[in-house]
Amino acid sequence: MRALLSALLAGLIFGVGLCISGMSDPEKVLAFLDFSGNWSPRLMGVMLSAILVHAAWLRWLVRDDESAPTSIGAPPAGRRRIDAALLGGSALFGAGWGLAGYCPGPSVVALGTFAPSMIVFVLAALAGMALHRGLVRSSQTPTSK
Amino acid sequence: MLPAILGGALIGLSASLFWSLNRRIAGISGILSSALLGRAQERWSSLAFALGLLIAGVVFASFTELVPAPRLPVLPLAAAGLLVGFGTRLGGGCTSGHGVCGLSRFSLRSLAAVLTFIGSGALTVFVVRHLLKLWVPS
């Protein structure tokens, strides 16, 4: 129950942060990606501010916490290298992001408009995630029985 | 720039609380994927996190202009959603997971991911807005 409440609180704060910063408006996101148009540094300011707070928290507040893993920066086992999946996946994500101006966080926030096309976007994103899971599963399990 | 700094700080605070209280990375693509496909104990807190995002969206969409309805037609939105969902899982993170959490941990993998998705996003905007001249804001 406590884990649910803290997750709800974290999600709420995250959502309020996205709204206040303007990142819930895809135009402001696309303005950052539009280097040959009316470029806006806003997204960079939001990210730098978030990184500053989070990096400071990790550095000074959880450093001596014994329940923390020895290396807080450790990525999931088996995925430690900069590989084709990391770069290819990020390139595909960037294409979708640049097309619509929504990354996963703002897309959930924008569901709050109850616009049918936003519901379609989020369902499509979930389908993309399920598709990836399906492909990973089928590549791990040999097809022959 | 003040709203950007303030909003960003809240995002950083959220990532910090989620790490300290739940021992989880506040990467939204990972959270959504876990809400849909994850193990039971993580699944419920992922759903709670997503619910928090949604509540913020409902409130701000009702009382402010900060959360506009999408401008794109439904077909390109669906294509974009598919790319975002599949790409973030293949790449292991999105703007929050690699961008905020990964860079806060000085992860080189995350830096490579961030530079790649910003580059690919900028290329897409260039092609869509300046070459094809589609959905250009007035």
Does a structural domain hold residue A131?
yes
Using an 8 Å Cβ cutoff, are B13 and A16 in contact?
A: no
Does a structural domain hold residue A97?
yes
Would you give per-residue pLDDT tens digits along chain B (138 residues)?
A: 899 999 999 999 999 999 999 999 999 999 999 999 999 889 999 999 999 999 999 999 999 999 999 999 999 999 999 999 999 999 999 999 999 999 999 999 999 999 999 999 999 999 999 999 999 887
Per-residue confidence (pLDDT) for residue B81, from 0 to 100: 98
Per-residue burial over A7-26, b if 16 or more Cβ lie within 10 Å, else e, is bbbbbbbbbbbbbbbbbbbb
Dihedral angle, C-alpha A87, A49, A111, A119, nearest 10 °? -10
Read off the tokens for A73.
Answer: 């920066």
Number of domains in chain A: 1
Does a structural domain hold residue A9?
yes
The closest CB to that of B58, out of A13, A112, A128, belongs to A112
pLDDT band at residue A70 using 50, 70 and 90 as cut-offs: very low
Does a structural domain hold residue A40?
yes
- Report whether pLDDT(A71) > 50: no
All residues of chain A having their beta carbon less than 8 Å from the beta carbon of residue B19 are 57-58, 62
Instruction: Decide if B34 touches A, using CB distance below 8 A.
Output: no
Does a structural domain hold residue A57?
yes
Does a structural domain hold residue A77?
no
Does a structural domain hold residue A33?
yes
All residues of chain B having their beta carbon less than 8 Å from the beta carbon of residue A120 are 74, 77-78, 81
Q: Residues of chain B with pLDDT > 70: what percent?
A: 100
Query: What is the tens place of the pLDDT at every residue in B5-18?
Result: 999 999 999 999 99
> What pTM was computed for the model?
0.94
Instruction: Decide if B111 touches A, using CB distance below 8 A.
Output: no
- A114 DSSP 8-state letter: T
Beta carbons within 8 Å of A142's beta carbon, 6+ residues apart: none
Does a structural domain hold residue A145?
no
Instruction: Please give the residue range of the domain that contains residue A88.
Output: 2-72+82-140
Instruction: Decide if B135 touches A, using CB distance below 8 A.
Output: no
Query: What is the tens place of the pLDDT at every residue in A121-141?
Result: 999 999 999 999 999 999 887
